[in-house]
C-alpha cells in the first residue's frame, strides 16, 4: 500500500501492475532517454512523459484491452486526479513520439547485453545469435501508407501499410540484443547493417542475407564476429583447399555491380563451404569459421537449426504477447514506430524476467512456455510468479527435440 501511495505522487516509479519489472529498469534510464530526446515533462501534467512511456509498454502487455482500460489498469495518473480520458492518452503519445522508446530499448539491451552461456562451451566461447526480419501491418491511413509503404508483388500492392523490424536475438534465451525499425522502403540488409553486434559471437542468417559487402562488414567491425548461413545452390566459388570430404576453403568472386556500389570491396573473398547429409539430402552451408578442427562441419551444420529460434521468438511476440492481433493500434507513422518499440521492450522485459526465473529453478529459458509464464509474470508478484511457474510443465522448443 505504501508503494501505491508513493507511486501516485512521483514520476519515477514503476506502475503497480508492472512492479515485477522494477528490478529490471532503472528509473533514471527513462529520465535520461526523455532528456536526450527533449521530451521530458517541464510542467506537471496529468499524464507526464514518464507515465506515457509505461503506458506504451502497457499497451503491448495488455494488447486485448482498449487504451482507456490500460490507463486504469496501470493507475497512470498524478496524485489523486481522476483517470485520464482517451484523448489525453493519445495526446501524451503524440508528444512523446518514438525516439524515447527507441533509446530506452537500446539502454535495456546494452545494460543486459551479455549473451547467455548455454552454447558458449560447444562454440569455444562464442555466443550463438540469430538475425531476421519481422513485419507488422498498420491501420490504412494516408499518412501510414505514404510514410511506411507496404509490400507489393506481381498482383499489386498489399492491403495494409506495414513496418519492418530486423532483430538480433540470443538463441539460447530468446532475449533481444538489438533491433532496428524502418518502413517497407528499407530493406532488411540496410536495417541489419545498423545492428550492434557483440564480439565473440556466431550469428546465423538465412540466405536472404548473402551479400559480400554485408558479411565482410559484419565480421570486420569487431573481434571474432562470425556468421553461418545456408549456401545458395548456384554459389560461384573456387576450391582453395579440402579439409575433409565435403569441407572446403573456397574463394568467392565479388560482382562488378557490388564493387561499384562498394568501391572498398576486393575482387574476391574467402570463406568455408560445408556439405553434409541431413535427412537424406545434401545440405550446403557457408561460414566465416575457417578452422575445421575447432569447428567440425557436422557440428556447424547442426547449429544452423538454431536459426529457427528467432522464428519461434517472433511467434511468441505476435501470437502470445500481441494476442494474434493482425493490425497495430496506431494511425500515425511515429506512433506506429512507438508502438513497435513498446512491443519489443515489453518482450525484452518478459524474456529477461524469464531468464532470471529459469536460473532460479535451474532450467534453460527456452524450456519455459512463454505464454503461461508471461501471464504469471504480469499477474503475480515476482516471488509468486516464480512459484506458479515451478508448477508448470515446460514445453521445449521444437528445435531442441
Across 24-33, 206-215, 254-263, least confident range: 24-33
| pLDDT above 70 (res 401) | no
pLDDT at 3: 34
Name the most confidently modeled range: 146-160, 326-340, 384-398: 326-340
- Higher model confidence: residue 34 or residue 88? 34
- Higher model confidence: residue 354 or residue 400? 354
Strand partners, 137: 162, 327
The answer as to whether 362 is a domain residue is no
Quote the pTM value.
Answer: 0.87
Q: Are 147 and 333 in contact (CB under 8 A)?
A: yes
3-state secondary structure string across 143-168: HHHHHHCCCEECCEECCCCEEEEEEE
The answer as to whether 235 is a domain residue is no
pLDDT at 2: 39
The answer as to whether 311 is a domain residue is no
pLDDT at 35: 87
Strand order from edge to edge, sheet including 201-205:
176-183, 162-170, 127-137, 201-205, 225-230, 281-287, 268-278, 247-253, 238-244
Cell output for 358: 529459469
DSSP 258: H
Give the pLDDT band (50/70/90) at residue 385: low
Apex 257 CA angle, 252 and 259, nearest 5: 65
Percent of the chain with pLDDT over 70: 83
What value does the mean pLDDT take over residues 53-80?
80
pLDDT at 349: 93
- Higher model confidence: residue 263 or residue 378? 263
Between CA 115 and CA 125 the distance in angstroms is 11
Cell output for 185: 522502403
Cell output for 198: 557483440
Per-residue pLDDT reduced to its tens digit, 167-206: 999 999 999 999 999 999 899 999 999 999 999 999 999 9
What value does the mean pLDDT take over residues 87-105?
91
| pLDDT above 90 (res 98) | yes
8 Cβ neighbours under 8 A, 6+ residues apart:
75, 77, 78, 79, 80
Domain of residue 82: give its range: 2-96
Q: Which residues of 150-180 are buried (b: 16+ CB within 10 A; e: fewer)?
A: beeeeeeebebbbbbbbbbbbbbbbbbbbbb
118 Cβ neighbours under 8 A, 6+ residues apart:
172, 173, 364
The answer as to whether 92 is a domain residue is yes
Q: CA-CA-CA-CA torsion for 354, 355, 361, 364, nearest 10 degrees?
A: 110
Average pLDDT, the chain: 84
What value does the mean pLDDT take over residues 362-390?
75
Between CA 194 and CA 180 the distance in angstroms is 7
Apex 248 CA angle, 246 and 253, nearest 5: 125
Q: Are 198 and 117 in contact (CB under 8 A)?
A: no
Between CA 288 and CA 81 the distance in angstroms is 59
The answer as to whether 250 is a domain residue is no
Q: Are 176 and 344 in contact (CB under 8 A)?
A: yes
Between CA 94 and CA 91 the distance in angstroms is 5
The answer as to whether 53 is a domain residue is yes
| pLDDT above 50 (res 345) | yes
Q: Is 334 exposed, middle or buried (0-12, 13-18, 19+ CB in 10 A)?
A: middle
Between CA 182 and CA 135 the distance in angstroms is 10
- Higher model confidence: residue 326 or residue 180? 180
| pLDDT above 70 (res 44) | no
Q: Are 336 and 324 in contact (CB under 8 A)?
A: no
Cell output for 180: 532496428
| pLDDT above 50 (res 7) | no
What value does the mean pLDDT take over residues 129-153?
92
Cell output for 72: 486504469
- Higher model confidence: residue 42 or residue 33? 33
Across 236-245, 310-319, 364-373, 378-387, least confident range: 378-387
Per-residue pLDDT reduced to its tens digit, 272-321: 999 998 778 889 999 999 999 999 999 999 999 999 999 999 999 999 99
Place of cell 513496418: 163
Give the pLDDT band (50/70/90) at residue 46: low
- Higher model confidence: residue 249 or residue 118? 249
The answer as to whether 25 is a domain residue is yes
DSSP 327: B
- Higher model confidence: residue 181 or residue 82? 181
Comparing CA positions, the residue from 276, 269, 272, 278 lying closest to residue 243 is 272
Q: Count of domains in the chain?
A: 1
Amino acid at each position: 500500500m505504501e508503494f501505491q501511495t508513493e507511486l501516485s505522487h512521483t514520476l519515477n516509479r514503476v506502475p503497480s501492475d508492472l512492479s515485477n519489472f522494477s528490478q529490471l529498469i532503472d528509473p533514471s534510464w527513462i529520465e535520461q532517454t526523455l532528456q536526450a530526446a527533449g521530451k521530458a515533462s517541464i510542467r506537471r501534467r496529468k499524464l507526464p512523459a514518464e507515465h506515457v512511456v509505461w503506458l506504451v509498454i502497457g499497451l503491448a502487455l495488455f494488447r486485448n484491452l482498449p487504451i482507456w482500460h490500460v490507463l486504469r489498469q496501470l493507475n497512470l495518473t498524478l496524485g489523486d486526479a481522476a483517470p485520464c480520458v482517451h484523448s489525453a492518452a493519445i495526446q501524451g503519445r503524440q508528444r512523446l513520439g518514438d525516439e524515447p522508446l527507441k533509446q530506452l530499448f537500446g539502454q535495456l539491451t546494452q545494460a543486459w547485453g551479455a549473451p547467455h552461456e548455454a552454447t558458449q562451451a560447444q562454440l569455444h566461447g562464442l555466443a550463438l545469435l540469430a538475425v531476421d526480419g519481422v513485419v507488422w501491418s498498420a491501420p490504412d491511413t494516408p499518412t501510414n501508407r505514404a510514410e511506411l509503404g507496404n509490400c507489393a508483388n506481381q498482383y499489386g500492392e498489399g492491403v495494409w501499410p506495414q513496418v519492418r523490424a530486423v532483430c538480433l536475438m540470443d538463441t539460447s534465451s530468446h532475449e533481444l540484443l538489438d533491433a532496428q525499425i524502418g518502413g517497407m522502403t528499407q530493406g532488411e540488409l540496410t536495417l541489419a547493417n545498423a545492428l550492434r553486434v557483440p564480439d565473440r559471437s556466431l550469428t546465423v542468417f538465412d540466405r536472404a542475407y548473402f551479400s559480400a559487402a554485408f558479411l565482410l562488414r559484419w565480421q570486420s567491425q569487431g573481434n571474432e564476429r562470425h556468421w553461418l548461413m545456408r549456401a545458395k545452390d548456384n554459389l560461384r566459388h573456387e576450391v582453395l583447399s579440402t579439409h575433409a570430404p565435403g569441407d572446403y576453403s573456397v574463394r568467392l568472386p565479388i560482382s562488378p555491380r557490388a564493387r561499384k556500389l562498394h568501391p572498398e570491396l576486393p575482387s574476391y573473398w574467402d570463406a568455408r563451404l560445408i556439405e553434409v547429409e541431413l535427412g537424406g539430402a545434401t545440405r550446403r552451408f557457408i561460414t566465416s569459421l575457417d578452422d575445421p578442427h575447432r569447428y567440425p562441419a557436422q557440428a556447424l551444420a547442426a547449429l544452423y537449426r538454431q536459426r529457427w529460434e528467432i522464428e519461434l521468438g517472433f511467434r511468441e511476440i505476435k501470437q502470445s504477447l500481441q494476442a494474434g492481433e493482425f493490425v497495430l493500434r496506431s494511425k500515425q507513422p511515429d506512433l506506429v514506430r512507438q508502438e513497435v518499440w513498446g512491443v519489443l521492450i515489453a518482450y525484452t522485459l518478459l524474456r529477461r524476467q524469464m531468464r532470471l526465473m529459469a536460473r532460479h529453478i535451474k532450467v534453460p529459458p527456452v524450456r519455459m512456455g512463454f505464454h503461461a509464464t508471461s501471464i504469471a509474470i504480469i499477474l503475480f508478484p515476482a516471488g509468486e510468479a516464480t512459484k506458479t511457474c515451478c508448477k508448470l510443465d515446460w514445453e521445449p522448443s521444437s528445435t531442441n527435440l
